[in-house]
Amino acid sequence: MASKRPHNPVVSRPNPTQIGTIIWLSSELMFFAGLFAMYFTLRAVVPDVWAEEVPKLAKGFATANTAILVLSSVTCQFGVFAAERLQKRRTGSLLNLRSWGMIEWFTLTYIMGAIFIAGQAYEYTELVHKGLTLASSPYGSVFYLTTGFHAIHVTGGLIAFLLVLARAFAAEKFGRHEEVSAICVSYYWHFVDVVWIGLYFIIYWLDALTTVS
């Protein structure tokens, strides 16, 4: 009786593109850590300037804008779920969210991210009218540097969404390459959302509570 050949188990290896994305985001985390360190250092050196400038911020508007960005992470993840089941487009009515594919979810995420950037531009305009500029004080410098670099990263994420959407539209068959692209973009988008939550808490609430106390 012929002996059966031993079955070699299939080894699931992590995708190198996803690993590379995570490593790159780790370096970006160090970059923002430097910005946070700069913020707290200046805040400790000139606390009087913080006490004068913090009340100029519109916490209510910033909270609404933050909610939009946080919700965009939810819609982004739904887009990833659709990509993982290789669903390119919706299979039913536009009003039936359960039938949406990656394209619909990522398009909605892009719109919400664009609204966030527009809201931040509006906030900058209002603060400039109140006299808070990049060169007006140490607080102005660190405020615009931290939030401005984050806005640049969000804009980069919006460009990435456009590239993924264009690739999905161009693909004759939606496959694993498109899925990996969607997953990597979601990593980046969740990252910029988490960074903003930290910035939002420190800039709009921690300093405000400290100033009041």
Q: Which residue type occupies 203?
A: I
Task: Using DSSP, state whether 3 is helix, strand or coil.
Answer: coil
Between these two residues, 74 and 177, which has the higher pLDDT value? 74
Q: What is the pLDDT confidence band of residue 118, given thresholds at 50, 70 and 90? A: very high
pLDDT digits (tens, 9 = 90+) for 130-154: 999 999 999 999 999 999 999 999 9
In this predicted structure, what is the pLDDT of residue 8?
47
- Count CB neighbours of 28 within 10 A: 14
Pick the closest to residue 80 from 185, 159, 168, 154 (CA basis): 185
Are 181 and 51 contacting, i.e. CB atoms less than 8 angstroms apart? no
- Count CB neighbours of 101 within 10 A: 20
In sign, the C-alpha dihedral spanning 118, 122, 128, 130 is: negative
In this predicted structure, what is the pLDDT of residue 41?
93
Q: Find tokens 């900058």 and name the residue.
A: 124
Most confident of 7-21, 168-182, 188-202: 188-202
Are 115 and 75 contacting, i.e. CB atoms less than 8 angstroms apart? no
User: Is the per-residue pLDDT at 9 higher than 60?
Assistant: no
Q: What is the pLDDT confidence band of residue 10, given thresholds at 50, 70 and 90? A: very low
Taking the CA atoms of residue 160, residue 166, residue 169 and residue 172 in that order, the dihedral angle to the nearest 10 degrees is: -100
Answer yes or no: pTM beyond 0.85.
yes
In this predicted structure, what is the pLDDT of residue 207?
64
In this predicted structure, what is the pLDDT of residue 176?
87
Q: What is the pLDDT confidence band of residue 209, given thresholds at 50, 70 and 90? A: low
Mean pLDDT is lowest, of 10-14, 27-31, 124-128, for: 10-14
In this predicted structure, what is the pLDDT of residue 14?
65
Pick the closest to residue 197 from 39, 108, 67 (CA basis): 67
In this predicted structure, what is the pLDDT of residue 3?
47
Summary mean pLDDT of the chain: 89
Q: Find tokens 């923002």 and name the residue.
A: 32
Q: Which residue type occupies 124?
A: Y
pLDDT digits (tens, 9 = 90+) for 92-110: 888 888 899 999 999 999 9
User: Is the per-residue pLDDT at 201 higher than 60?
Assistant: yes
What is the number of alpha carbons within 13 Å of residue 99 lying toward its C-beta? 7
Mean pLDDT, rounded, for 171-190: 91
CA–CA gap between residue 119 and residue 33 (Å, rounded): 24
CA angle 163–70–58, rounded 5-degree value: 115
Residue 138 buriedness (CB in 10 A; 0-12 / 13-18 / 19+): middle
Domains in the chain: ranges and CATH: 30-212 (1.20.120.80)
